[in-house]
Amino acid sequence: MHSAMQFLADNPYILLFLTIGLSVWVGKFSIKGYGLGSVAAAIVVGCLLATLGASFGVKFHLDDFAKSLLYYLFMYGVGLRVGPSFINALNKDSINYAILAIIAPVLGLAIVVLGAQFFGLPQGAAGGMLAGSQTMSAAIGSAEQAISSGTLALHEGMTKEQVDAMIALSYGITYIWGTVGIILLCKYLPRIWGVNAKEAALQFEKEHGVPNVDDAGITAFHPFDVRAYRVVNDAPVGKTIKEFRARFPEYQVVNVERGGQLLGADEKTVLQKDDVVALGGNLESMTANMGVIGPEVPDAKALNIPLDQAEILVMNKETMNIPLKEFRSHPLAGQIQLQRIERGGVPIPMGLETKLQKRDVLFVTGLQTAVDKAGQIFGVIARHSSATDLLTLSAGMILGFLIGLIEVPAFGAAVGLGNAGGLLLSGIIVSSISSRLRFFGNTPNAARNILEDLGLIGFVAIVGINAGAELLTQLTGAIALKIFIVGFLASTIPPIIVWAIGFHIMKINPALLMGATAGARSHSGPAREAAKEVGSSVPWLGFPVGYAVSGVLLTVFGYFAMMLAH
C-alpha cells in the first residue's frame, strides 16, 4: 500500500483525476433522493485519500497554481451563467425576488460570523460553515482567497494548511444538513404556515394558463404539426392563399405542390384542384376541420420543407408583457414552434397567459423565413452553435484579472475584488453583452458546464487533498458539535425568515414563494422537490432571479466570513 500511495504522490495528475473520478462516482449515490453530489464528495474523497496517504507516511500536495486556475475558470463560468438573470433582477418586476435573495445570504453570513465568534472557533471555520450551510461550494474558494491574498493574517501558531483544513472540515460537517434542510423547508413551510400550496399552484395555473410540464420528459404529443392535403373540395378552389387564411386563420399554408412542382407559399398563389397543400397549425386546429380541403395524403415532396432552429433573445418592448395567446392569430403562427422559454438560464413553464420579459430566450423551430421574421419581431436572433468563441473567452479572462488588480483605500488598507471577484464580474459583463447582441462571445451550455463542473470539482478536490493530512490534528468532538450547531442555525433560520417576509409582507403566491425560497439559497434541488410536492411547475417561475442574485452573493461571502469572524 505504501508503494501505491507513493506512486500517487509522484504522479500528481493521476492523483487529481483519480480524485475527480471517484468524487463523481461517489456523488451519484443517494439515499431516498439525498446524496452528497460531486462537489461535496470531492472534499470527502480528497481528505480520505490524503489521510490514507499520511497513515503510510506519504504526504500528498498538489500545485497551488493548478488549484487557483481551476477556481478562476469556475468563477468566470459562474459569471457567464448568472449574468443575464442577474441584470434582470434589477427590473421592477423582479425586485421582490431579488430582495429575498439578498436577505437570505446576509442572514446566513451574520449567523456564521456571530457563531464563530461566540464559540471561539478556529480560523477558517467561518468560511467553511458558510459554504456548507448555504450549500455554496464556491465560497470555499473566496474563503481561501482571504488567506492566500495576504489580506487576512494568520493567527499565531496557525499555518495556511491548517486553515485550509478547517475550511474543508467545517464545510463537510455543515453541508449535509445544508442540503437536506433547505429541501425539507421548501417542501413543508407551506404546511407549517397552514397554507395549501397545491391549491395555490392550481389557482395560478388557471389564472395564467400554465400547464404542469416539470416532469414531461419525452412525449408523443406535439402541439404543432405540418400535414399535406389534396384539394378536391370546391371551397378552396380559386382562392388565393391569403384569402384561404382569412377564412381559416388558424392554419398556415407552408407549401403548395402542383403537377410535381413545388410552388412555395406566396400569399398570391391561387389554389387549384389536385394541388397538394401543406398546412401547419396546432394539433387542435389540424383535427377540427378535417376535410375542408380534401383527404390527407402522405406526400413526402410537399412535406419536405427545410426547417430552421434558432434562439431569439426578447428585446423589443412591443412584445413584452403580452400573453402568449395574443400571438396565436399572428401570420407566423403555424410556421414556427416555440419549444421552450428560458429566463435567466432556467426553463420556465409556458402557458397561454405567460408574458415575455426582457432578455427571455425563445427556442424556436420552423420555416427559415418564419424564424427570421420572428427574430425581427421579438428581438435578436442567434442560431444554435456548438463552437466556443475562445477569443472572447480569453478576453473575458484577461478583463477579469485586470478588474481584480483594481484596489481602493478602505478601512486603512487597500481593498479590491481580487482575481476571483474580478472574473465573476467579468463573466457577468461578457454574458450580459452577448445576451443582448447574440453574435459574439458564444459559449454553449456544455462548454460553460465544463468550466464550472471541472473547475469547481477539481478545485475542491485539491483543497481536500492538501488539507486531509491536517484534519486529524484539528478534529475534536467539541469543535465538530459547535460547527454543526452554527451550520444548522445558518441553514434553517434564513429560509424561514425569507418565507415569512415573502408571504406576509410581499404577498407572493405560496407556490411561487417555494421556488423563490429555493432561489434565495441558490439551490435548484429544493425547487425541483417543491414542484413535485405541489404537482406543478409554478415554483420554477419564482426561482431564476433569486438563484442568480444569491449565487453571486454567497460566492463572495466566503471572503467576508473569514474577514468578519476574525
- What tens digit of pLDDT does each residue of 430-469 get? 877 776 655 556 666 667 777 777 887 888 788 778 776 6
* Full set of structural domains in the chain with CATH: 1-59 (no CATH), 233-294 (3.30.70.1450)
Q: What is the mean pLDDT of residues 265-282?
A: 83
C-alpha 192, offset from chain centre: 28
Length of the chain, in residues: 566
Binning pLDDT at 50, 70 and 90, where does residue 150 land? confident
pLDDT higher than 60, residue 551:
yes
d(CA 394, CA 93): 34
Q: What pLDDT does 130 receive? A: 93
Summary mean pLDDT of the chain: 79
pLDDT higher than 70, residue 84:
no
Q: What pLDDT does 385 receive? A: 58
Task: For cell 467553511, name the residue.
Answer: 128
Q: What pLDDT does 249 receive? A: 75
pLDDT tens for residues 165-199? Answer: 888 888 888 887 888 888 888 888 898 899 998 88
Nearest-10 crossing angle of helices 418-437, 544-565: 170
Q: What pLDDT does 550 receive? A: 87
pLDDT higher than 50, residue 215:
no
Q: What is the mean pLDDT of residues 391-395?
A: 83
Nearest Cα to Cα of residue 544 among 80, 205, 85? 85
Q: What is the mean pLDDT of residues 416-421?
A: 71
Q: What is the mean pLDDT of residues 523-530?
A: 79
Binning pLDDT at 50, 70 and 90, where does residue 216 land? very low
pLDDT higher than 50, residue 213:
no
Strand-by-strand arrangement of the 361-367 sheet = 346-348, 336-343, 361-367, 307-314, 379-383
Which helix (H) or strand (E) segment is 513 a member of?
helix 510-520
Of 402 and 44, more confident: 402
Of 365 and 124, more confident: 124
Q: What is the mean pLDDT of residues 554-566?
A: 86
Q: What is the mean pLDDT of residues 46-60?
A: 81
Q: What pLDDT does 211 receive? A: 56
Of 157 and 317, more confident: 317
Q: What pLDDT does 469 receive? A: 62
Backbone angles phi, psi at 56, to 5 degrees: -105, 15
Binning pLDDT at 50, 70 and 90, where does residue 495 land? very high
Which residues contact residue 166 at a Cβ distance below 8 angstroms, ignoring those fewer than 6 apart? 122, 123, 124, 125, 128, 474
Percent of the chain with pLDDT over 70: 82
Q: What is the mean pLDDT of residues 367-373?
A: 77
Binning pLDDT at 50, 70 and 90, where does residue 409 land? low
Would you call 323 helix, strand, or coil by DSSP?
strand
Instruction: Annotate 343-366 with b (16+ C-beta within 10 A) or e (fewer).
Output: bbbbbbbbbebbebbbbbbbbbeb
